[in-house]
Amino acid sequence: MIFRNSIKSIFRSKGKTALFTLVIFSLTLALTLAGSVWASVTQFLDDCDDYYTTVALVEFMGTKYPDDDIYDPAMVDGLKSFDISSIKNNDAVLSWETPSRTFGYVKEFWRTDNFMPDKMLSVLVIGNVSFNEEHQLFSATVYKTLYSSKIKENKYIHMDADFGPFEQGHYYLIFGEVYHGYSPILHLRPAAFENAIAEADGAEIPDKIDITSDTPDNKFYNIPEDSILIQIADTLSVTNNSVLVESTDNLMALLPFHQEELYFVEGRPFSEEEYTLGSHVAVISELMAARLGIHIGDTITLSLAISDRPGFYNTYWAGDGFTVEETFTVVGITNTLMDKSWYVYIPRAANIPASRYPIGYTAGQAVLSNDEAVKFWAQMAPQIPGRFQLKIYDQGYSSVTIPYQTILSTAIIVTAICSLLELSVILLFGFIFVFRQRDASETMLMIGAGKTRVVVYFLISAGLIALIASIAGATAGYWLHDNILTMVARTAENSTLIDNRYSNGNLTISRTLAFAPQLEMGFFFTLGAIIFLLIIITCLVFTLFTFTKRKITKRKQPKVKKKVSTSKLPGGLMKYTTLSVIRGGAKSLIVPLLAATVVLFFGHLSRTAQQYKIQLEDVYDNTQIHGYYTDINGKQVGNLVVNAYDVATLYYTGELNDLDVSRGTPYYFTGITEFADGTKQNISPIYVPSNGYQLESLIAKIQRGPDLTAANDINSSPEFYYSDDISISFLKGYDQTVLSVPENDANVFSCIIPTDLMEEHQISLGDIIRLSLEHMIRNPIDNEKIFAYYDLRVVGSYEKQGTENTIYAPLSLFFNTGLIWGEGQPAVDGKSNVINKPDFLSAKQKDSLLSNVFHSANFQLKDSHNLIKFKDFLTEYGYSQVREAGKVREFIILRDASFNNAVASIKQQNHYINILYPFLYALVGIISVTMAYLLITSRKFEFATMRGLGVPRTRTFFSFFSEQFFLCLAGTFVGATIWHLFWGVPSLAHLVLSIGFLICYFVGSAISIVIMNHADVLKILLDRE
């Protein structure tokens, strides 16, 4: 009976039953979908965290950067003033590793790469030496190669005349450096051999030793076993075939592995156990394995040289220097990268001693918590001193996850709102379906049905509705979630906030992890079950309330209120309104409180949105984006070949406000032609020898020299690009602008030279020096061929950063600067800030530009707002990005990573606001209309009474509407005043939103009053409670 009546009760209130079934179904559906997005995106972000590894690399930008096996004393100096502990101890750092490298040797491994330290040095036995008068050089036959990577036995070679004299028919042990001349025959020239051990022993190194045999044993020569040249040969055969042993705690986090330049072709990386135990296991290259003829499981014996002298070349000498010899089992073989083919990786805990001097330019690297990398970079980058650079390689983690993080935040809020709405509806459902039927409960108790039956009566009807709605919602959620998640993935793809093209934040490889969540049916039905249970519990609680809050048997006692004097207000339209407002008590506070809260809430929302806009504008206004031409790996800033036409075209875009280029050529210091005091010195130019082989030798000599670099800004030249402490002294009347001001018409160009060169050649500021270059011209005096030379006035001196004595001259020395910076060019005249095609160039100008190259070029963007447009231009022009060649094989990097991260962070918030705020605005609108309706309808008896007393509809309308209008306006005013006091003048958006709220509330009130005005007064008035 109870069951039947309970079921009947829900069919007898069809409207309410249908409404609540629909609402609970809809909210359950919304909740399961929002929850599924939350769960899926959380799972995906966790997967991303496992899949991606973010590495921070601290490197020293030395003059030889990016050489990986070099020892640079400048880095050691730099490290002394660099407190790296702040990086190590940052919360984002999961592990920190300082490079642990040492040089070693594996017997029988030989190298052919271009990274061999003394690849061209050779120790040979020669004979059959003859002197070629015409070419002024010696020719000889190689009888034995004691060490050479180039010269084979029984070959014919040329030797510089400096090696002489030789005796006819004698045999020699000779040491020199091989070079390639214009002829196919290899040349040998005298060379120095630097080895600290040999030097310490006081060894003198001759360039040849006569080893002709004087014994009657039919030998033509005897090689003295104790000869120093034999020792050099022995040393070279080890140092030139050396291996670099790198100990690590996390092989896969080392940059070549992290960037997937190195990968396993056989075997595996080290296991956790091997890392922990320090097992003697190694990973080598495929090339090394092949040359050693070994496979996985075979062993190699590493001989390691550790000493107090920097560099392997100073550590080993003729069998002396190896301090450690250990055997390692090969567990992994990688692909062959030419510059890493001679690396051997071992676990750090194997306790192989590291070199006491840094090898390469890496100061350390950290594995970071993926999601804290951006914060880490923002904290640490400003603390990195001098020429050190911090780079983050995240394998594409941030660009993949940022859109999903935004979606996650939104999903969490939507889920929370859906949950709150669901809870509210459940409470309302319990209230209406149970508590408001407490008469029925009371009656049932009065007729002795018992509490259990009452509970069953209510729970069956409510439970049936809840069951149907929640199961239907969960089922629909399960069916629809795939579509929603597909939409999420599409949204994420379309809302990538960072344009990583050409960015220094895009030096990393981009790994791809697909968003493919797998949510089980159980997830949806668990949510449905939770909702069902919540409804049952709520209804049960309300049922229990009906036992205590009885309606029939309990009457309210009239409240004794303080006496209030009757109003003296004149009767009229506003009297009832005024009295209602004044005497409404807490009810009169609801609307103003709501209005004030909404105004403050909207103020907060619009302020937040506005702040993001201001922040974004600040970032744009205060960011200067620099860019530079580089190599395919994005490491070099110099030693490039960049076409001047391409650089000019870039400048013609009008998007650059600074363009610094340089072009260098080797010079040979010829002498001082005029001293600062005006004293002249007769320095002859270098005449071109008529002998071809002498010419080759001379050209080779000039080519080995340092560079004369024409640049328009010394600070931006490759030597100083990463330096912020350049020290230059100028001759009075000169400054750095000397390089950028065209000196096309000058007889003597200015130059800035290193202080070391000044000391070496006794040069003073104001002196004019002559530098000879490798190309040849006719001497205007005697019409003889000479090497071209420049006479340059020394107007400045600088402390060099590297080892080279680079001389800086104005750019106009080598390049007609008018082609780029001359009048009439749109970028110069400020006529355009759009992407231009250089149509204005004459054919001659274009040819001139096309035939010129720069060896470095870097620039600064005029306006960061135009970054995307500028990148579009680069893409359209065909410029190449690091690791991604375009049709123009010139690579450009824009140093916009931090800018992008800042912008992305703000845009992420903005994006999130753009998704969430309309939802909140709509919610506030709905709440305001609902509140207006509830407040008006709660006064239906007042309406009915007034209507019963004959008050016209227009009067009731204006009476109630003016009350709501006044209350809402008062609340808005209070909210606006509070806002003004604490946060200043409201923004336009704030005003618009507040007016929108007022309109919603007024419309809601008006509609509600009209509804009440047309309600059945008869029914209300005759309601006998």
Partner 1 sequence: MNILELNDVSYTYDSKDQPIEAVKHVDCSFKQGKVYAIVGKSGSGKSTLLSLLAGLDLPTSGQILFEGRPTSTMDLAKYRRECAPMIYQSFRLLPLLTVSENITFPMELRKFRGKKARNRARKLVERVALPESVLDRFPNMLSGGEQQRVGIARALSMDSKLLLADEPTGNLDEENSHNIIDILVSLSHDDGYCIVVATHDLSILPKMDVIYHMNSGVLKLENSW
CA-CA distance, 897 to 905, in Å (whole number)? Answer: 12
SS3 529: helix
As measured in angstroms, the least distance from the Cβ of 4 to partner 1 is: 22
Of residues 88 and 955, the one with the C-beta less far from partner 1: 955
Of residues 204 and 1025, the one with the C-beta less far from partner 1: 1025
Q: What residues contact 213, with CB distance under 8 A and at least 6 apart?
A: 171, 219, 220, 221, 222
SS3 266: strand
Q: What residues contact 764, with CB distance under 8 A and at least 6 apart?
A: 675, 676, 758, 794
C-alpha of 1023 from chain center: 72
As measured in angstroms, the least distance from the Cβ of 13 to partner 1 is: 14
As measured in angstroms, the least distance from the Cβ of 950 to partner 1 is: 3
Of residues 22 and 1018, the one with the C-beta less far from partner 1: 1018
As measured in angstroms, the least distance from the Cβ of 959 to partner 1 is: 11
As measured in angstroms, the least distance from the Cβ of 588 to partner 1 is: 10
As measured in angstroms, the least distance from the Cβ of 5 to partner 1 is: 22
Inter-residue contact 810 to 738 (CB < 8 Å): yes
CA-CA distance, 330 to 288, in Å (whole number)? Answer: 11
SS3 45: helix
Helix (H) or strand (E) segment spanning residue 284: strand 281-285
Of residues 139 and 578, the one with the C-beta less far from partner 1: 578
Of residues 583 and 704, the one with the C-beta less far from partner 1: 583
SS3 666: strand
Q: Give the closest residue to 744 by CA, choosing from 660, 809, 665, 813.
A: 813
As measured in angstroms, the least distance from the Cβ of 560 to partner 1 is: 6
The residue type found at 763 is I
As measured in angstroms, the least distance from the Cβ of 935 to partner 1 is: 14
CA-CA distance, 931 to 1001, in Å (whole number)? Answer: 8
As measured in angstroms, the least distance from the Cβ of 1014 to partner 1 is: 13
Of residues 559 and 732, the one with the C-beta less far from partner 1: 559
Of residues 701 and 940, the one with the C-beta less far from partner 1: 940
CA-CA distance, 820 to 857, in Å (whole number)? Answer: 13
Of residues 584 and 996, the one with the C-beta less far from partner 1: 584
Cis-peptide, bond into residue 165, ω within 30° of zero? yes
Of residues 446 and 1021, the one with the C-beta less far from partner 1: 1021
Inter-residue contact 330 to 106 (CB < 8 Å): no
Map 936-979 to HEC letters.
HHCCHHHHHHHHHCCCCHHHHHHHHHHHHHHHHHHHHHHHHHHH
As measured in angstroms, the least distance from the Cβ of 582 to partner 1 is: 9
Inter-residue contact 160 to 191 (CB < 8 Å): no
Of residues 463 and 584, the one with the C-beta less far from partner 1: 584
As measured in angstroms, the least distance from the Cβ of 1025 to partner 1 is: 6
Of residues 828 and 1020, the one with the C-beta less far from partner 1: 1020
As measured in angstroms, the least distance from the Cβ of 475 to partner 1 is: 33
Contacts 24+ apart (CB under 8 A), 515-518: 515/40, 515/44, 515/404, 515/485, 515/488, 515/489, 517/39, 517/40, 517/41, 517/43, 517/44, 517/485
SS3 598: helix
As measured in angstroms, the least distance from the Cβ of 937 to partner 1 is: 16
Inter-residue contact 510 to 396 (CB < 8 Å): yes
| Residues in the chain, overall count | 1025
Of residues 453 and 953, the one with the C-beta less far from partner 1: 953
CA-CA distance, 949 to 304, in Å (whole number)? Answer: 109
Could you tell me the two tokens for 223?
A: 């090689």
As measured in angstroms, the least distance from the Cβ of 550 to partner 1 is: 18
End-to-end Cα spacing for the chain: 29
CA-CA distance, 718 to 639, in Å (whole number)? Answer: 8
As measured in angstroms, the least distance from the Cβ of 944 to partner 1 is: 7
Helix 897-937 to helix 397-433 angle (10° resolution) is: 10
Of residues 562 and 844, the one with the C-beta less far from partner 1: 562
As measured in angstroms, the least distance from the Cβ of 586 to partner 1 is: 13
Of residues 586 and 781, the one with the C-beta less far from partner 1: 586
CA-CA distance, 743 to 17, in Å (whole number)? Answer: 92
Q: What are phi and psi of 174, to 5 degrees?
A: -130, 145
As measured in angstroms, the least distance from the Cβ of 1002 to partner 1 is: 22
C-alpha of 4 from chain center: 68
Distances (CA, A) of 892 to 815, 869, 882, 896: 22, 15, 7, 12
Of residues 430 and 592, the one with the C-beta less far from partner 1: 592
Distances (CA, A) of 124 to 145, 738, 898: 5, 51, 56
Of residues 949 and 981, the one with the C-beta less far from partner 1: 949
As measured in angstroms, the least distance from the Cβ of 909 to partner 1 is: 47
Map 151-188 to HEC letters.
CCCCCEEEEEHHHCCCCCCCCEEEEEEEEECCCCCEEE
Of residues 192 and 564, the one with the C-beta less far from partner 1: 564
Of residues 745 and 1025, the one with the C-beta less far from partner 1: 1025
Residues that bind partner 1 (CB under 8 A): 558-561, 563-567, 570-572, 575-576, 579-580, 583-584, 941-942, 944-953, 1017-1018, 1021-1025
Residue position matching structure tokens 């035939």: 851
